[in-house]
Amino acid sequence: MLVSDRNFNTYEAFEEKRQQTDEILEYIDGIIYISPSPSITHQRMASFLHGELHNLLKNSGCEVFSAPTDVLFEQSGNDHNKNKRVVPDLFVTCNP
């Protein structure tokens, strides 16, 4: 679901909206999205995958994380509007 009306939003405007709500918001290509609650089936699958990835990654130096954890993809340079902030169901990092 979109929070904005498909108009371009600055990254700064996104950060302001994040401070004003408890909803899970994502910022992709200037558009602010709100994430709906996942279904029970979705949650079961995500839980299963989290457990499997956790077991697979033991002692590897990598970790699996689950939502709600923001992941920021920053573009180099000064244009913060090209940044993307998403809330994936799961993600793995090997570089804390």
Q: What is the pLDDT of residue 54?
A: 97
What sign has the CA pseudo-torsion 43, 37, 84, 2? Answer: positive
In this prediction the pTM is 0.71
The tally of CA atoms less than 13 A away on the side-chain side of residue 20 is 7
Would you call 45 exposed, middle or buried from its count of C-beta atoms within 10 A (0-12, 13-18, 19+)? middle
Which pLDDT tens digit goes with each residue over 61-82?
999 999 888 899 887 777 767 8
Spell out the domain ranges in the chain: 11-93
The residue that leads in pLDDT, 43 or 5, is 43
